[in-house]
């Protein structure tokens, strides 16, 4: 099977530009990138059907090698319809995003940022130790560990103080325990 | 001509239902009834098909009467018809759940009226992917379900959904593009896209070409199935969607990717060439996924990470490419579709009951709403793999298959599987401790809804607890309706109960189910039943065993 070199080159260029645009942060460019990728893929499908200039459909007098395979063209039609629908939908998403945030940019996920910011050491996990009120128990511990408990307690109390409505119940106890 | 020839109706019926639901878009009640009836009918039909295929083996339906390599063919073998039944059962209960939510909140005429038709199209796409007998039809099935999922993902068009939706759409489109490129190359190399025909012809290609095609397909399906290096889109996009949508996505969409990987590995490329790669990928998916879950403080995001992690188990079984491994994978897929969906549905209920899905803002739900606590506890322990449940049986099957394989890599995977399972237990217990077990007063920043609602009284009253503007500051805008809205509508609670019960039933009937899985795995690894069903007996002379 011989392949049309022009088609191949165009396809390669489309893929290259498409991938470049896809990696941009601007949504419109990403969308354009997707469209170029879709078209490049359509060309690839077209290339599998044989080269240009052959008979378009099968007729019983034509030898098998002399007509163009119609199946890839059917694939391309399906693929065009799908990418058309998806492009329209993407466009509406981009527009909606512009309406909501006035920015044609891919937004960061707030929850992602929050998880990335959180401490490796979760004070809340260990706050139970600090609630231990028995002095007797505390004196048994080495001084360094007592100091650590005090630090943690202070930190927890501070963290809880920032939340409205978190100051009642057992949550307020570590603050007094730490000060003692 | 048997009942199994009706299998394509599993695609056609939901499509018809979607059309009817579109016509009834101004009549929400009629729309709900039609969608539910259609899905129930589809489920009944698929059970019939499964019953026939269980004994007779794969059945191929030649659409339009065209001979196999040329026409479009739909194939129901044991694996695909089993998946059809489970996916329809799950999507039916999620539809009941969503209908309960819609009926309770009275969101009629809003964007939610698009939900039912779109949902049915999604179901049709999933069925089409399971039944597809050629690569291009598989692609079309993927596109149907993806396009429907784009709409469902961005339902309502709020800021966070648009943000997540864009990521989701771009990633999905790129993976579909890769799939289409793979189809073009496969067609260029062999001149056919019928799976059974490819099974014969791909083996005759030059090994280099085979590897290129194989890797292309694996990457395309790997993105859809969310295996490790290709999984970052999933926890980013799933949690923002409405609760029923997340539930059905988590249950079905990634499994369609896993299904495609299994077909690729068994039917198209039965060689062991990439098995080591698959095993490594499986290990990384299991461990990295569950480590991600450890860092999360939102139940939906946490569950999305466990979803990624447990995809690793399925890939583990595929990578072993033994009957035992594949059978365990099939069992695990069935188990995981049910359990993951029911966990997300419970999370939807928790969100309604407690006002949020942020773990730090919740507490004391075990006392406030014992029903929810039980509904969470059973599937959570099931997912973690605690002995009497199907999660344990599936993992046990996989670990046994790994030990039977005996290679050092397989043993590494066995250890990794156990570690991931223990970490899942840790994550699930953490949610349990904070959301259900501790007292409400211990919550760091309790949600107003949680503080305002009184504990449910016993029995039926728990589902009648009310959420009104009296309880919540109207400026928040979330629950500022005039009417009293039931917090836990009965339909939502009962549908969740139904799915949790199905999960338990999978444990009770694990014996026959495992038998069926083994049967299906043997057939898929032998390949001849499938190929002969499509191409006719004697057509597979060129197949190397």
Helix (H), strand (E) at residue B61: strand B59-62
Helix residue ranges per DSSP H, B157-206: 159-190, 195-201
The pLDDT assigned to B332 comes to: 93
The pLDDT assigned to A136 comes to: 54
The tokens describing B335, both together, are 């188990």
The pLDDT assigned to B530 comes to: 85
pLDDT at A122 over 70: no
Identify the CATH class of A5-107: mainly alpha
pLDDT at A42 over 80: yes
pLDDT, tens only, A19-37: 999 998 888 899 999 999 9
The pLDDT assigned to B45 comes to: 92
pLDDT band at A11 (very low <50, low <70, confident <90, very high): very high
Helix (H), strand (E) at residue B339: helix B323-354
pLDDT at A179 over 70: no
Interface test with B, best of A109, A112, A116, A162 (most B CBs within 10 A): A109
Contact A165 B441 (CB under 8 A): no
Contact B164 A71 (CB under 8 A): no
Find chain B residues with C-beta within 8 A of A45's C-beta.
180, 183-184, 187
Structure-model confidence comparison of residues A156 and A81, the more confident one: A81
pLDDT, tens only, B199-222: 888 888 888 899 999 999 999 999
> Nearest by CB to B442, which of A1, A164, A171?
A171
Interface test with A, best of B135, B152, B167, B173 (most A CBs within 10 A): B173
Other CB atoms within a 10 A radius of the CB of residue A51 amount to 13
Taking CA–CA distances from B166, the nearest residue in chain A reads: A93
The tokens describing B339, both together, are 């359990």
Question: If you count residue pairs, one on A and one on B, with CB atoms under 8 Å apart, how many are there?
Answer: 110
Find chain B residues with C-beta within 8 A of A27's C-beta.
166
Q: Are B91 and B123 in contact (CB under 8 A)?
A: yes
Cα Rg of chain A, angstroms: 33
Cβ-based neighbours of A42, under 8 Å, separated by 6 or more: A76, A79, A80
Contact B162 A100 (CB under 8 A): yes
Taking CA–CA distances from B192, the nearest residue in chain A reads: A71
Question: What distance in Å separates residue B44's CA from the closest CA in chain A?
Answer: 31
Under DSSP, is residue B358 helix (H, G, I), strand (E, B) or coil? strand
Contact A169 B441 (CB under 8 A): yes
pLDDT, tens only, B241-281: 888 899 999 989 999 999 999 998 888 888 888 888 999 99
Contact A79 B180 (CB under 8 A): yes
The pLDDT assigned to B176 comes to: 93
Most confident of A114-118, A167-171, B225-229: B225-229
The tokens describing A160, both together, are 């809880």
Q: Which residues of B touch A (CB under 8 A)?
A: 136, 140, 143, 147, 150-151, 154, 157, 159-160, 162-167, 169-170, 173-174, 176-177, 180-181, 183-185, 187-188, 191, 193, 236, 239, 295-298, 301, 439, 441-442, 444-446, 451
Contact B184 A22 (CB under 8 A): no
Q: How far is CA A53 from CA A4, A57, A66, B232, in A?
A: 11, 12, 9, 46
What CA–CA distance (Å, rounded) separates B186 from B169? Answer: 25
DSSP string, B371-429: HHHHHHHHHHHHHHT-TTSHHHHHHHHHHHHHHHH--HHHHHHHHHHHHHHHHHHHHHH
Interface test with B, best of A35, A48, A103, A128 (most B CBs within 10 A): A48
Contact B174 A34 (CB under 8 A): yes
Provide the ipTM: 0.84
Taking CA–CA distances from B71, the nearest residue in chain A reads: A71
What CA–CA distance (Å, rounded) separates B126 from B87? Answer: 8
Taking CA–CA distances from A168, the nearest residue in chain B reads: B441
pLDDT band at A137 (very low <50, low <70, confident <90, very high): low
Q: How far is CA A131 from CA A127, A177, B319, in A?
A: 7, 7, 50
The domain limits of chain B are 274-508
**Residuewise pLDDT in 10s, chain B (545 residues):** 577 788 888 899 999 999 998 888 888 888 888 999 999 999 999 999 988 888 888 888 888 877 777 788 888 888 999 999 999 999 999 999 888 877 666 554 455 678 889 999 999 999 999 999 889 999 999 999 999 999 998 887 788 888 888 889 999 999 999 999 999 999 988 888 888 888 888 888 888 899 999 999 999 999 999 998 888 888 888 888 888 899 999 989 999 999 999 998 888 888 888 888 999 999 999 999 999 898 888 899 999 999 999 999 999 999 988 899 999 999 999 999 999 999 999 998 888 888 788 888 888 888 888 888 999 999 999 999 888 888 899 999 999 999 998 889 899 999 999 999 999 999 999 999 888 888 877 777 777 777 776 666 544 444 444 444 333 433 444 544 444 567 777 888 889 999 999 999 998 998 899 888 988 888 888 888 888 888 876 655 444 43
Q: Check residue B60 and report its DSSP letter.
A: E
Q: How far is CA B357 from CA A123, B300, B414, in A?
A: 21, 7, 33
Find chain A residues with C-beta within 8 A of B239's C-beta.
111
Q: Are B102 and B36 in contact (CB under 8 A)?
A: no
Considering chain A, what percentage of its residues have pLDDT values greater than 70? 59
Find chain B residues with C-beta within 8 A of A103's C-beta.
none
Task: State the number of CA atoms in the 13 A half-sphere of B122 facing the CB.
Answer: 28
What CA–CA distance (Å, rounded) separates B446 from B305? Answer: 24
Taking residues A94-99, what's their average pLDDT?
Answer: 88
What CA–CA distance (Å, rounded) separates B295 from B304? Answer: 12
pLDDT band at A143 (very low <50, low <70, confident <90, very high): low
The tokens describing A2, both together, are 């011989």
pLDDT at A157 over 50: yes
């Amino acid at each position: 099977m011989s392949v049309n070199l022009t088609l191949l080159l165009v396809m390669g260029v489309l893929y290259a530009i498409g991938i470049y645009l896809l990696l941009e942060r601007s949504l419109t460019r990403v969308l354009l990138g997707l469209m170029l990728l879709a078209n490049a893929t359509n060309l690839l499908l077209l290339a599998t059907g044989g080269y240009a200039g052959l008979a378009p459909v099968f007729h019983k007098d034509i030898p098998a090698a002399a007509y163009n395979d119609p199946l890839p063209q059917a694939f391309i039609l399906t693929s065009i319809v799908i990418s058309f629908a998806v492009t329209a939908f993407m466009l509406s998403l981009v527009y909606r995003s512009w309406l909501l945030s006035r920015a044609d940019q891919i937004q960061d996920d707030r929850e992602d940022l929050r998880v990335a910011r959180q401490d490796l050491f979760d004070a809340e996990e260990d706050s139970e130790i600090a609630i231990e009120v028995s002095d007797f128990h505390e004196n048994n511990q080495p001084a360094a560990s007592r100091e650590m408990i005090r630090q943690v307690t202070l930190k927890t109390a501070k963290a809880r103080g920032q939340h409205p409505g978190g100051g009642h119940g057992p949550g307020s106890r570590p603050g007094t325990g730490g000060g003692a | 001509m048997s009942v199994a020839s009706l299998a394509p109706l599993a695609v056609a019926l939901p499509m018809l239902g979607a059309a009817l639901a579109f016509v009834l878009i101004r009549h929400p009640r009629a729309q709900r009834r039609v969608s539910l009836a259609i899905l129930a009918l589809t489920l009944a039909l698929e059970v019939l098909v499964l019953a026939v295929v269980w004994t007779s083996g794969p059945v191929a339906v030649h659409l339009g009467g065209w001979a196999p390599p040329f026409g479009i063919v739909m194939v129901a073998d044991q694996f695909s018809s089993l998946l059809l039944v489970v996916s329809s059962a799950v999507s039916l209960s999620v539809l009941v759940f969503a209908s309960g939510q819609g009926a309770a909140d009275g969101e009629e005429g809003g964007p939610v009226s698009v939900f039912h038709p779109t949902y049915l199209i999604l179901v049709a796409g999933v069925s089409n992917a399971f039944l597809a007998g050629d690569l291009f039809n598989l692609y079309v099935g993927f596109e149907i379900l993806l396009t429907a999922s784009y709409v469902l993902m961005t339902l309502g068009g709020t800021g966070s959904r648009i943000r997540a939706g864009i990521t989701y759409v771009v990633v999905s489109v790129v993976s579909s593009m890769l799939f289409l490129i793979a189809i073009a190359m496969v067609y260029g190399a062999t001149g056919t896209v019928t799976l059974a025909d490819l099974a014969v012809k791909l083996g005759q290609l030059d090994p280099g070409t085979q590897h290129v095609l194989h890797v292309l397909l694996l990457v395309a399906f790997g993105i859809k199935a969310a295996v490790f290096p290709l999984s970052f889109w999933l926890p980013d996009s799933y949690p923002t969607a409405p609760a029923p949508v997340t539930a059905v996505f988590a249950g079905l969409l990634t499994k369609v990717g896993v299904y495609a990987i299994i077909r690729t590995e068994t039917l198209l490329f039965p060689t062991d060439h990439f098995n080591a790669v698959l095993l490594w990928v499986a290990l990384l998916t299991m461990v990295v996924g569950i480590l991600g879950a450890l860092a999360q403080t939102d139940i939906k995001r946490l569950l999305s990470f466990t979803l990624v992690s447990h995809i690793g188990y399925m890939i583990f079984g595929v990578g072993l490419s033994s009957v035992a491994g594949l059978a365990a994978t099939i069992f695990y897929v069935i188990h995981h579709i049910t359990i993951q969906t029911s966990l997300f549905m419970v999370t939807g209920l928790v969100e309604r009951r407690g006002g949020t899905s942020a773990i730090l803002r919740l507490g004391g739900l075990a006392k406030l709403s014992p029903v929810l606590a039980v509904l969470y506890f059973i599937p959570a322990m099931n997912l973690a793999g605690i002995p009497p449940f199907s999660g344990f049986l599936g993992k046990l099957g996989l670990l046994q298959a790994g030990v039977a394989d005996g290679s050092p890599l397989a043993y590494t995977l066995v250890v990794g599987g156990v570690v991931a399972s223990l970490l899942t237990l840790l994550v699930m217990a953490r949610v349990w401790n904070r959301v259900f077990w501790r007292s409400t007063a211990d919550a760091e920043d309790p949600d107003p809804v949680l503080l305002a609602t009184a504990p449910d009284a016993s029995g039926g009253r728990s589902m009648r607890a009310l959420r009104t503007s009296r309880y919540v500051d109207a400026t928040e805008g979330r629950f500022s309706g005039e009417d009293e809205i039931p917090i836990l509508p009965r339909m939502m609670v009962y549908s969740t109960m139904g799915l949790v019960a199905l999960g338990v039933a999978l444990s009770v009937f694990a014996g026959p189910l495992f038998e069926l899985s083994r049967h299906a795995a043997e057939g898929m690894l032998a390949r001849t039943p499938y190929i002969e069903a499509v191409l006719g007996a004697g057509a597979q002379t060129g197949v190397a065993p």
